[in-house]
Structure 1
């Protein structure tokens, strides 16, 4: 089995490598190719990756290259984890929207749109080259904004599934609170990427006992602290919102915080410099503890599970993925991309039935889905007016004065990445 990671020079990659090494019985990788144009980073990450494999007794071969076509040739699955523009572009995404009093975040709001506009054309080019190399290869997208990028891939006819680590993080946390194995926890996870709620927590499978009321009653304080929303609000919702819902439910509070502290991008950039120094140590043969602060917790477990299921070698029968709606949420179009539990196998994901969604949540899902449709149109076709329409549609922006100003700022800050600008 050959797997390729595009963006293999990312500081995330050792987390992925550690998972491949530990879970080799689930996903027996014979050749792992790390592709990245940043030669210096790739050399550091590749060296550590080989040492991790060696220390854990994994016999697979790790190849590093800046040649995308060679890297994806014959690959059974290709994982995408790239960041167009790097942390410098993320720093901009997190700062200029604040000037209008709008949240500055890399996947949500105006910053998220900027990232989509930079990313979608690049990902579609990569996907076409994967298809030429092996039309049967699966593309697993971890590149944000996952929902929009996955929709672009599926709309272009690629064999693609979107992946996020939010759900697997909840699964692990709930399992710990309940004192059970993570595999015993089945989430009623529903919504869009970075806009989801846990509407049920079932033990043993999709039809198991729903213990969410017990979790909220016995561990509500810990859960509310984790999602950074007040306990009374979580109790009134009766579900567990992902921490990304804080950008919607406490928008002005978040903007105030973001204006008074360093950006997350600057923090991550500093961590990355430290991590890369660590990766260059020839004595290091495991992922360092600092990597846990970088983000992407449990990414490796989720990626291994998904790849194994898609390639027919195992993996969990039910997984939370980003895939086509196809009637799962009846108030959305079939070609919308949703994030839900699905039965996953070699033919791809099949979403499990979802109970009727409370209008409180369904309305926001419908609104953001409309924004994502307009965002994808702007990413594919370009043009100032399309950018403006997407921003005006976003529930965190909505006012034409803000949308006009943010459109101009988005284009000014991203002109080098926009072929039409």
Structure 2
């Protein structure tokens, strides 16, 4: 069995290597191939050597290779994981700085920055899907490139390859936090999710079949817990909001339901310490210095501070479940297929699914609760518009996505920010050139 990791020079790769090592008895991988582009060659070498040391220490029979030749790497692949960042962290810095300079939220998966990450990423992954469909047509693509939901929907709707599943660490983090609140084993806790990636709500918290949502909301009201991953600082939620919505928000909801205070906080951080992208670049430099240590043969704990920790672990669990036809329940990004009645069947949602060898089977959620229905429908229409713009390269399609986004809206500001971002990222947006 062969796994190809596209974006193998990512700082997250040691986590996926660790996940594959720990699961080797149930998920016997023979070959792992790391792939990256020429500009990532140095990082790929560092990650490849660390991964080799990790595999040697574990004593598992896995052959590891790394290459810049993607098509050659894909030969005989059973799973292809994608963790790319088109333009690197410098592009993310522009995604955050330019909107903030105009008084808008600057964030890598939401608002103007999130739109441009999608515009850069979708065409590249569409090309990858064509290669996978030609070279290893039976392989599963497991995508955790952000914005994961939008990217996964683009691939499933318009890509050449249909065996695609998206994953995110947010449902995992929320489940772990709920289990901690309830003092339960996370294996016994299941949140029922409704919505899309980074805009998903928890409508139930089931512990051995009993709904404990009220207890978790009580804990959030007391602000004794934090659902946020390392890359998002939560301001907490008001009791009025939590009682009225009567569902668990996810950390990214602060950009929408606490927009003013979050923007104020982000602008202050932007003035004092730079953007999150600049902070991450420093963390990355330190991580890669650590990775170079020839005595290091385990995933360093410092990686968990990077933000996005556990993406890779979720991806490994998903691949194992597909391979073993486990029919266990996992939260993934996949086609709606009627799980949420109010959305089209070919929409991608973030939903609990039975994981079988033939792919995820969504569990029925029903109708969207009234208190979030308008937001969910609006965000799904916006996501569809972003996908359209990424494929058409049409200026007006991109502008429509801007004015449809609740973090932008204002028509003149939308044009200014769109024009600046198009110019800033022109090297990575050939469809608009």
Do both proteins adopt the same fold according to a TM-score greater than 0.5, normalized to the shorter chain? yes
Deviations 1:65-96 (A, max 9, x none): 11101111110010000000000000000111
Q: Which of 134, 138, 141 is 2:140 aligned to? A: 138
Structure 1 window deviating more from structure 2 (146-155 vs 177-186): it is: 177-186
TM superposition shift of 1:314: 5.1
Structure 1 window deviating more from structure 2 (376-385 vs 396-405): it is: 396-405
Q: Please state whether the residue corresponding to 2:174 is helix, strand or coil.
A: helix
CA distance in 1: counterparts of 2:401 and 2:238, whole angstroms: 33
Matching of residues 321-400 of structure 1 within 5 Å:
321-400=332-411
TM superposition shift of 1:201: 1.0
1:182 matched residue in structure 2: 186
TM superposition shift of 1:224: 5.2
Change (3 A) 1:77 1:196: same
- Kept in 1: contact 2:96–2:106 (CA 8 A): yes
TM superposition shift of 1:351: 0.9
Unaligned runs of 5+ in 2: 229-233
Change (3 A) 1:218 1:92: closer
- Kept in 1: contact 2:193–2:352 (CA 8 A): yes
2:231 matched residue in structure 1: none
CA distance in 1: counterparts of 2:355 and 2:201, whole angstroms: 21
Change (3 A) 1:26 1:211: farther
CA distance in 2: counterparts of 1:414 and 1:218, whole angstroms: 43
1:249 matched residue in structure 2: 257
TM superposition shift of 1:52: 1.3
CA distance in 1: counterparts of 2:127 and 2:227, whole angstroms: 41
1:58 matched residue in structure 2: 60
Matching of residues 93-242 of structure 1 within 5 Å:
93-155=95-157, 156-158=159-161, 159-204=163-208, 208-218=209-219, 220=221, 221-223=223-225, 226=228, 227-232=234-239, 233-242=241-250
Structure 1 window deviating more from structure 2 (296-305 vs 182-191): it is: 296-305
Matching of residues 268-307 of structure 1 within 5 Å:
268-307=280-319
Deviations 1:156-178 (A, max 9, x none): 25210111010111122222333
Scaled by the length of structure 2, the TM-score of the pair is 0.93
Structure 1 window deviating more from structure 2 (2-11 vs 48-57): it is: 48-57
Unaligned runs of 5+ in 1: none
Scaled by the length of structure 1, the TM-score of the pair is 0.95
**Cα RMSD (Å):** 1.5
